[in-house]
Amino acid sequence: MTITVPGKAIALVSGGLDSAVSAAVAKSQGFILHALTVRYGQRHSIELNSAKNVCDSIGVSEHHIFNLDLRCFGGSALTDDYDVPKGSKPSSESIPVTYVPARNTIFLSLALAWADSLGARDIFIGVSSVDYSGYPDCRPEFISSFEKTANLGTRAVNDKKKFKIHTPVLSLTKAETVKLGLSLGVDFGLTWSCYDPTDDGLPCGSCESCQLRAKGFLGADVLDPLLLRL
Amino acid sequence: MTITVPGKAIALVSGGLDSAVSAAVAKSQGFILHALTVRYGQRHSIELNSAKNVCDSIGVSEHHIFNLDLRCFGGSALTDDYDVPKGSKPSSESIPVTYVPARNTIFLSLALAWADSLGARDIFIGVSSVDYSGYPDCRPEFISSFEKTANLGTRAVNDKKKFKIHTPVLSLTKAETVKLGLSLGVDFGLTWSCYDPTDDGLPCGSCESCQLRAKGFLGADVLDPLLLRL
């Protein structure tokens, strides 16, 4: 009988709900976690603090906040000075203005660099293509293609063990993600989803990300601990 | 008859010989160039200055130097404190210590972000898999896979025009690259190749990159104008 002991893994942790659950899944599988958060010029920094708290709570070996200013490239309501839409229904039919060009390609590339340097071959990312905003870089075909690219462009070329991009919440509804997180002890009160918090640091409640989060807790039939805490 | 007018393109310009020729090819094809250089924690900064001079000389619409500190991930003689090998013959059989983990995946991702934001679909990168250092992310199979990934993870998903990663020197010997550059008027005196310059800012002459450069000028039967200038 061969027993495989999980080694080091990189977990991309944004401070949001999906990445917290994905990191918790990695932890539950026995991986030693190296967590990566990217400060990419988000309009607010609450989520960076949430990322830190999530990492502390889950228990990671190391948490690195990487600075990378994507504002110079423009092209997104999340990094530029144009309005985050409110009240509109999240739809997967078109790419919304909150899409940040090539964000997950960049984040996965950075995770890949760290992993290749550590000799790790497992990367966890909290993308979801069910209750999501229609970002092209959250879909399974993108993830699968990135994984192939990763195995062609790194030391994995000469290595028997290949890169695997783990996406534990990819095909879960937001409610299923909430339930999975609760079963793993994720403290959702530490997570943050809102794209456009109020001046007092409260979630706006009406951006697409707030709406998806609310749908998740409603569907899971539990109260959102973040709202209870505020 | 349909005439296609080339639009904007991103050119990755490192300050080296291959990327200068690739950018010159893009320019000769009529593209409006947006040049991207990455300050990633190289041990020396001479090549950043060379990148600037190359861009000025070729004539780009915009040159952006992007800060991204890959030193925190470690794993390369180009960003860490361990020695750049000297005098050894460049070989494509193993991955040398000067390999920077996932560097081209990251650089292409950044170029992709900028391109997607500009609505450009053409990216030029000066990788070569003939006279090269054996980096896995310089091979055609990697580039082709990245191109597929790019078209799955960006606004190109909904666009008739897809991303193309142009690699004009991919299958050229270093001598052929030098000849192509000369035919396009590239001033190689402005380019820089050495991984480990002397304290006086001169090329060491013996690192793998200096050796490949020397082989190129020797094969093209011309003197290296950089050496004449020094």
Domains belonging to chain A, first-starting first, are 8-222 (3.40.50.620)
Distances (CA, A) of A68 to A125, A217, B100: 18, 32, 18
Alpha helices in B153-194 (DSSP H): 174-183
| Phi and psi at residue B158, to the nearest 5° | -100, 15
The CA distance from B144 to B157, in Å, is 17
A32 touches chain B (CB under 8 A): no
Q: Please tell me which residue of chain B has the smallest CA distance to A76.
A: B117
Specify the pLDDT at position B82.
Answer: 64
Q: Which residues of B touch A148 (CB under 8 A)?
A: 145, 148-149
> What part of A 77-116 touches B (C-beta under 8 Å)?
94-95, 99-106, 109-110, 112-114, 116
- Residue A3: the pLDDT is 65
Region for residue A185 given its phi and psi (left: phi exceeds 0; alpha: psi -120 to 50; beta: otherwise): left
Q: At B212, list the tokens.
A: 């490949």
CA distances from B93 to A158, B49, B89, B90 (A): 10, 32, 11, 9
Least confident range from A8-22, A75-89, B5-19, B143-157: namely A75-89
Is the Cβ of A125 closer than 8 Å to some Cβ of chain B?
no
Contacts of B117 (CB under 8 A, 6+ apart): A73, A74, A75, A76, A101
Structure tokens at A149: 């690219």
- Smallest CA–CA distance, residue A156 to chain B, in Å, is 9
pLDDT tens per residue, range A146-200: 999 999 999 999 999 999 999 999 999 999 999 999 999 999 999 999 988 998 8
A176 against A69, higher pLDDT: A176
Nearest Cα of chain A lies from the Cα of B152 at a distance, in angstroms, of 5
Residue with tokens 């190296």: A34
pLDDT at A90 over 60: no
Cβ <8 Å between A145 and B142: no
pLDDT score at A89: 59
Residue B103 is encoded by which pair of tokens? 């560097």
* Mean pLDDT value across residues B71-96: 71
How big is the CA angle at A192 (ends A189 and A193), to the nearest 5 degrees?
Answer: 130
Q: Using DSSP, state whether A189 is helix, strand or coil.
A: helix
Task: Tell me the β-bridge partners of A17.
Answer: none
Contact B149 A142 (CB under 8 A): yes
Mean pLDDT within B33-49: 88
In chain B, which among 131-160 make CB contacts under 8 A with chain A?
136-137, 139, 141-142, 145-146, 148-150, 152-155, 157-158
Residue B114 phi/psi, 5-degree rounding, is: -65, -45
Tokens of B139: 């091979």
Instruction: Say if the ipTM goes beyond 0.90.
Output: yes
